[in-house]
């Protein structure tokens, strides 16, 4: 099993910085023992212009068979011979992924003590895997890597070069090129190599969900093949896949399609639950309608799902999505089809880059602002700045805030106790904490606030999502609409 990663030198960084990033010195060949064999790391070339690291994994097929026994799921097909004669020793697979994660652990995490600035910088990378088992063929390889910014070459390997009429094997020779950080590249490989191989060498347990979410952070939330990736990575274990997809949707609101498809794929006969992200959007749109808002800000709009939803209703005459992440905005523009929109439709929508931690004049004068699953992405010391930017400076008549209810986390099957739902959440509030924050904010800025649950309101721990609807006290005649808003959201709306 063999994989190489190459980079070229850039203005600020010679190619040999790859050695720093990987914590492996380019002048030395090193060996690491892994559970199933030995990983060799060496650099076939290391100059300031060009540097290549190679990982060669020597697998002991007998040890592999032994270790797979008794773990519920073998690495090899069941026949006695196949246990010893199989492709594992040379085909890139979950074994290689595990070795990458182990040997280059800090690089995967994006850590580099000696040069802390290095891991964050995207650089020209080329990855080659000469023999990659690819169930789904070259087309799937392209669909998995291309959306992540790689240009992909996947050539099918013929079954036997002497007999071309036999056709292609299930292997491809893979080359990826792109300008990414090394940590991104390693995380893509860590997840996607086993996904393509589609046969895990170890038993998939619930902590695999954590590993997937950690390695998938920042890209899996928005990947068009998210369902396939999650399903295969978790070896088609249905409850794990469902849980992982729900948590990805929590993280980035990837929309209803993914969960529904996952359920379809499994031929589920039970009633399909409505994904939380969809319920959240319904609640927000309902509250905006009830408030009579026409010009709306979606603050922290992510990939623009809510913006898209609002554009379907002509009563929303202007919809502005704001986000700090350029990448999210680009994806939003693509999803919304901004380029292809009629002029009239395009005049209703704008996407702005900006941080909510700073006052922004462009945000003044709107009817309503939505902060859906955004506050928990800010460090708590930044919250007063957000509060001022939204309630003090922009001052829309209506503000709708949705955020996770941390008390509900005990109901997520795979979420370890004490952990937040997504690695980028800086905190998650209890119902009490959210009410206190929202009540104080309302008091300081002349708003009234009501609260509402989204999702099943558990008698003990409350709903998965909590919502606050603020109405500016001096906002004029539409007070009744606000009252209606709060009651549509909850029967026990409480005003503070
Ligand atoms: N509102 C969307 C996305 C939530 S994810 C939804 O409900 O699905 C949180 C979003 O907030 C991300 O897109 C992130 O880029 C954005 N964000 C985080 N901090 C921000 C800040 N300081 N200013 C603006 N956007 C921010």
pLDDT digits (tens, 9 = 90+) for 245-266: 888 877 654 333 333 333 333 3
Q: How far apart are the first and last CA of the chain?
A: 63
Burial class (CB in 10 A: 0-12, 13-18, 19+), 418: exposed
Per-residue confidence at 62, pLDDT binned at 50, 70, 90? low
Q: CATH fold of 2-203, please?
A: c-terminal autoproteolytic domain of nucleoporin nup98 (3.30.1610)
Question: Which atom of ligand 1 is the closest one to the Cα of 370?
Answer: 1
> How high is the pLDDT of residue 476?
67
- Residue pair 488/445 in contact by the 8 Å Cβ criterion: no
Question: Is ligand 1 within 6 A of the CB of residue 404?
Answer: no
Q: Considering the domain delimited by 276-495, tell me its CATH architecture.
A: 3-Layer(aba) Sandwich (3.40)
| Residue 317 reports pLDDT greater than 60 | yes
Question: Is ligand 1 within 6 A of the CB of residue 300?
Answer: yes
CA atoms within 13 A on the CB side of 241: 22
pLDDT digits (tens, 9 = 90+) for 109-143: 888 888 888 898 899 999 999 888 888 888 999 99
> How high is the pLDDT of residue 181?
94
Question: Is ligand 1 within 6 A of the CB of residue 378?
Answer: yes
Q: Report the separation in Å between the CA atom of 294 and the middle of ligand 1, taken as the mean of its atom positions.
A: 22
Calculate mean pLDDT across residues 418-424: 81
> How high is the pLDDT of residue 269?
36
Contacts of 109-112 with C-beta under 8 Å, sequence gap 24+, read 109/183, 110/181, 110/183, 112/20, 112/21, 112/23
> How high is the pLDDT of residue 157?
80
Query: Looking at ligand 1, which residue's alpha carbon is closest to its atom 11?
Result: 300
The structure's pTM equals 0.53
Burial class (CB in 10 A: 0-12, 13-18, 19+), 228: buried
Residue 181 forms beta bridges with which residues? none
| Residue 268 reports pLDDT greater than 90 | no
Q: Probe ligand 1: pick from 276, 377, 382, max atoms within 8 Å of CB?
A: 377
Q: Where are the domains of the chain?
A: 2-203, 276-495
Q: Report the separation in Å between the CA atom of 446 and the middle of ligand 1, taken as the mean of its atom positions.
A: 25
Burial class (CB in 10 A: 0-12, 13-18, 19+), 137: middle
Question: Is ligand 1 within 6 A of the CB of residue 372?
Answer: yes
Lowest average pLDDT, out of 62-71, 140-149, 154-163, goes to 62-71
- Residue pair 276/465 in contact by the 8 Å Cβ criterion: yes
């Amino acid at each position: 099993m063999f994989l190489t990663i190459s980079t070229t030198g850039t203005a600020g960084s010679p190619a040999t910085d790859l050695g720093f990033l990987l914590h492996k010195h380019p002048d030395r060949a090193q060996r690491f023992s892994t559970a199933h064999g030995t990983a060799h790391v060496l650099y076939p070339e290391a100059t300031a212009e060009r540097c290549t690291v190679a990982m060669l994994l020597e697998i002991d097929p007998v040890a592999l068979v032994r270790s797979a026994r008794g773990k519920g799921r073998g690495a090899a097909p069941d026949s006695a011979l196949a246990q010893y004669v199989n492709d594992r020793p040379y085909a890139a697979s979950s074994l290689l992924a595990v070795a990458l994660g182990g040997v280059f652990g800090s690089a995967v995490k994006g850590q580099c003590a000696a040069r802390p600035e290095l891991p964050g910088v995207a650089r020209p990378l080329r990855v080659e895997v000469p023999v990659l088992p690819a169930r789904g063929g070259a087309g799937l390889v392209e669909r998995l890597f291309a959306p992540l910014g790689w240009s992909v070459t996947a050539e099918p390997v013929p079954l036997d070069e002497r007999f071309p009429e036999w056709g292609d094997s299930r292997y491809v020779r893979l080359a990826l090129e792109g300008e990414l950080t090394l940590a991104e590249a390693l995380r893509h490989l860590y997840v996607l190599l086993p996904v393509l191989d589609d046969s895990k060498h170890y038993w998939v347990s619930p902590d695999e969900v954590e590993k997937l979410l950690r390695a998938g952070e920042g890209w899996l939330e928005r990947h068009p093949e998210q369902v396939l990736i999650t399903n295969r990575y978790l070896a088609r274990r249905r409850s794990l896949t469902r849980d992982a997809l729900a948590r990805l949707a929590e993280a980035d609101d990837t929309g209803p399609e993914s969960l529904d498809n996952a359920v379809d794929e499994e031929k589920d006969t039970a009633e399909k639950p409505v994904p939380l992200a969809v319920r959240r959007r319904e609640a927000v749109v309902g509250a905006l309608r009830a408030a009579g808002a026409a010009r709306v800000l979606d603050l922290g709009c992510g990939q623009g799902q809510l913006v898209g939803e609002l554009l379907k209703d002509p009563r929303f005459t202007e919809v502005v999505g704001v986000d700090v992440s350029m990448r999210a905005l680009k994806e939003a523009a693509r999803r919304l089809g901004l380029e292809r929109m009629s002029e009239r439709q395009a005049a209703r929508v704008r996407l702005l880059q900006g941080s909510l931690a700073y006052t922004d004049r462009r945000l003044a004068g709107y009817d309503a602002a939505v902060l859906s699953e955004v506050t928990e992405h800010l460090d708590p010391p930044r919250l007063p700045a957000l509060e001022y930017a939204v309630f003090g400076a922009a001052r829309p008549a209506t503000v709708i805030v949705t955020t996770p209810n941390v008390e509900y986390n005990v109901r997520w099957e795979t979420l370890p106790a004490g952990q937040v739902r997504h690695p980028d959440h800086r905190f998650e509030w209890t119902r009490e904490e959210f009410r206190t924050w929202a009540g104080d904010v309302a008091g300081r800025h002349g708003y009234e606030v009501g609260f509402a649950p989204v999702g099943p309101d558990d008698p003990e721990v409350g709903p998965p999502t909590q919502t606050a609807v603020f109405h500016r006290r001096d906002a004029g005649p539409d007070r009744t609409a606000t009252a209606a808003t709060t009651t549509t959201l909850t029967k026990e709306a409480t005003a503070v």
